[in-house]
C-alpha cells in the first residue's frame, strides 16, 4: 500500500526520467483531465519537475499546470521505455504521460486533477496537510502541537491523520507504536511529550530509512519496506502482518484488531505495548 516513502520514491523516479523533457502524448480516463487537455493541450509542454508532498504526487508542467495524483490504497506509477511491455493491464491505465524517452503510466489511480500552479498554496487538500515527515524542513515541534490538539483521540488514529503529520500509513502506524512501546488504542491525553516525541521521531526515521537507498528501477516502489534493519525479507517488520506469531522482542503472540470505519488493521504486542490504566 502506498505510504509516504512509496510516493517519495515514485516522485524521485519519475523526476529522474521525465524532468526537462517535452510531452509528446497525454491520455487519461478522467473526463476532467481530458477536457483540460483538449482545451489547453499538455503535449509540447515541458515537465518541469515531479515531487511528493505527503501522499500526494505533483507533476509540474510548463505553462502553470500541475497534475496532482493520490494513490489511495491501490494506485501506482510505472515508467517504461517506448514499446516496452507493461507490467499491468491496459484496462488498469488511468493516466499516461509520454516523452520521447519514457512513458509514465498511472495504474488504478483514483484521484487526479490538473491545477494551476499559482493555486497550489491554497488547494484544499494540500493546504491542510501537517508537516511532511520526509521534508528537509520537517517541523517536529509543529507536529507535536498538532498531536496535542487532539487529546481525546486514539493515538493510532492520530498517526494516520495526514493533517497532523503527512506520510504515515497503516504499516508504519503499527511499527512506530511498537518501537515506542505504546498501545495503539491509548488516547493522546494520557501520553506525555516524551512518548509523543518518540512516535514523531521514529516515524520520520523509518520513512527516511526507506527512501535513502540506491535509486530503484523505474517503478513506483521496488524492494521491501523495512523497520527492523534486518536483511532477511521475512524479518523486515516487527509486528505488521505477523498476527499469531511471536514478538521478536519478548516472544508474546502478536495481536490484530480491525479498527475504525475503514476497518484498518492494527498489529501490536500485548506485552511490549501494555494498555495504560
Q: Which of 55, 131, 173, 184 is catalytic?
A: 55
- Clarify whether 194 is annotated catalytic: no
Q: Which of 2, 131, 173, 184 is catalytic?
A: 2
Which three cell numbers, joined as nine digits, stand for 82? 517506448
CA distance 48 to 270: 49
Average pLDDT of the residues in 75-81 = 94
Mean residue pLDDT across the chain: 91
Q: Which of 3, 131, 175, 184 is catalytic?
A: 3
At 132-160, the pLDDT tens digits run: 999 999 999 999 999 999 999 999 999 99
At 1-28, the pLDDT tens digits run: 578 888 999 999 999 999 999 999 999 9
Question: For position 12, what pLDDT does the model report?
Answer: 93
Question: For position 65, what pLDDT does the model report?
Answer: 95
Q: Which domains does the chain have, with CATH numbers?
A: 4-127 (3.20.190.10), 140-268 (1.10.8.50)
- Angle 165-211-220 (CA atoms, 0-180°, nearest 5)? 95
- Clarify whether 233 is annotated catalytic: no
Give percent above pLDDT 70 in the chain: 94
- Clarify whether 113 is annotated catalytic: no
Per DSSP, what are the bridge partners of residue 46?
22
Question: For position 211, what pLDDT does the model report?
Answer: 87
Amino acid at each position: 500500500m502506498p505510504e509516504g516513502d512509496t510516493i517519495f520514491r515514485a516522485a524521485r523516479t519519475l523526476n529522474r526520467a521525465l524532468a526537462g523533457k517535452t510531452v509528446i502524448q497525454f491520455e487519461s480516463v478522467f473526463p476532467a483531465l481530458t477536457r483540460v487537455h483538449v482545451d489547453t493541450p499538455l503535449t509540447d509542454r515541458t515537465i518541469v519537475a515531479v515531487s511528493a508532498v505527503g501522499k500526494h504526487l505533483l507533476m509540474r508542467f510548463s505553462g502553470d499546470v500541475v497534475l496532482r495524483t493520490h494513490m489511495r490504497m491501490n494506485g501506482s506509477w510505472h515508467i517504461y521505455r517506448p514499446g516496452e511491455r507493461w507490467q499491468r493491464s491496459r484496462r488498469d491505465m488511468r493516466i499516461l504521460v509520454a516523452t520521447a524517452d519514457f512513458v509514465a503510466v498511472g495504474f488504478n489511480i483514483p484521484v487526479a486533477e490538473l491545477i494551476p500552479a499559482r493555486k497550489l498554496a491554497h488547494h484544499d487538500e494540500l493546504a491542510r496537510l501537517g508537516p511532511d515527515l520526509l521534508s528537509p524542513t520537517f517541523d517536529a515541534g509543529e507536529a507535536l502541537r498538532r498531536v496535542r490538539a487532539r487529546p481525546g483521540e486514539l493515538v493510532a488514529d492520530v498517526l494516520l491523520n495526514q493533517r497532523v503529520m503527512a506520510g504515515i500509513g497503516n504499516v508504519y502506524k503499527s511499527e512506530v507504536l511498537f518501537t515506542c512501546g505504546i498501545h495503539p488504542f491509548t488516547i493522546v491525553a494520557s501520553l506525555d511529550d516524551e512518548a509523543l516525541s518518540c512516535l514523531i521521531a521514529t516515524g520520520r526515521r523509518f520513512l527516511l530509512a526507506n527512501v535513502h537507498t540506491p535509486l530503484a528501477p523505474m517503478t513506483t516502489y521496488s524492494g521491501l519496506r523495512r523497520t527492523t534493519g534486518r536483511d532477511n525479507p521475512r524479518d523486515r517488520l516487527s509486528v505488521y502482518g505477523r498476527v499469531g506469531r511471536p514478538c521478536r522482542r519478548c516472544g508474546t503472540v502478536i495481536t490484530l484488531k480491525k479498527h475504525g470505519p475503514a476497518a484498518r488493521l492494527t498489529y501490536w504486542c500485548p506485552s511490549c505495548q501494555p494498555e495504560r490504566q
